Amino acid sequence: MSRPIRALIHADALRHNYGVAKSLAPHSRVFAVVKAQAYGHGLMTAAAAFGAVDGFAILEIEGARSLRAAGYTQPILLLEGAFSLPELRLASELDLWLTVHDEAGLARLEAETLPRPVAVFAKLNSGMNRLGFPAEEVATVVARLRGNANVGEITLMTHFATADEPARGITGQLARFEAAIGSLALPVTVANSAALIAYPEARRDWVRPGIMLYGSSPFAHTPAAELGLQAAMTLQSEIISVQRLQPGDTVGYGASFVAARAMTIGIVACGYADGYPRHAGTGTPVLVDGMRTRLVGRVSMDMLAIELTDVPGVGVGSAVELWGQQLPIDVVAAAAGTIGYELMCAISPRVPVQVV
């Protein structure tokens, strides 16, 4: 019998969340962001759930090739572009769309004769200072792209650093972007999940929802449920042992938790080798048979401990939800000092995945 841990992927929730994203921008086309194996949910699982999505946005050209091989004909945007001339040729052969964000990417396009022209998203740096041409150079970049026989449709793009922070928002970056593009009559994409939800002015020709598609909130203080989103992943396991503690007894590596009273703890088959955060501390919420309790002591490679003292009727074999449809992943992430994105992407290959 295998370990009881498993990750459930809720296809209905994926469909629902895509519908929420689409409803926010009914006049925009939607790139479903499916990088990092669809934020840990499985690339093909997510693609199937999203159905007649307008397009996909992805980082990994291997994933883009898999989508094409599976019969998906929608636009597929490579968010960091092609990294070499062979990748550039492959992108052309597969009819992938390319982000071009620096001189090296432009030079590759100008150095090669491609099997077919590629649609290009020219990324401008409006203030995040990560990727992108200086926004004020947009006219020069567009002129070079327009003069290149390898380039088809051109779209202008930027990415916001603080769309998820209401106190700062997108105003400064959006103003810089708009001032730079001036009267250029080209399609535009600027909205990630946070901007799509919070800023109607960011809902342009294309929008690029990511985290919201998987049922997590992009905002630290707004629960996903308040945004109409549903959790698309549940990580669950079972109690495999029960221990009785006396005052002064300790739990786990480093003896970091010391019992202040007589206690009962349950040992759960889940650890950091499964993707649960090792840095989650005592007090991180966990559900056992639908009742809320807490993590105690350090998370080890294959197990963690939870308090059962005040949770009646549970024991070996009781169901544990580490996060999911009853316990929001954002709540667990906040308690562990991280974000839901990291937890989703960290699920280990050794954890069985079941689509439900």
| Active-site amino acid positions | 35, 253
Distance separating alpha carbons of residues 164 and 262, to the nearest angstrom: 44
Rounded to 5°, angle at Cα 276 from 306 and 330: 90
Bridge partners (DSSP) of residue 99 are 121
Q: Which two tokens stand for residue 193?
A: 């999940």
Place of tokens 């992430």: 333
Query: What CA–CA distances, in Å, run from 199 to 39, 127, 191?
Result: 24, 18, 8
Query: What CA–CA distances, in Å, run from 43 to 70, 72, 79?
Result: 11, 12, 16
Query: What CA–CA distances, in Å, run from 200 to 171, 191, 192?
Result: 12, 9, 12
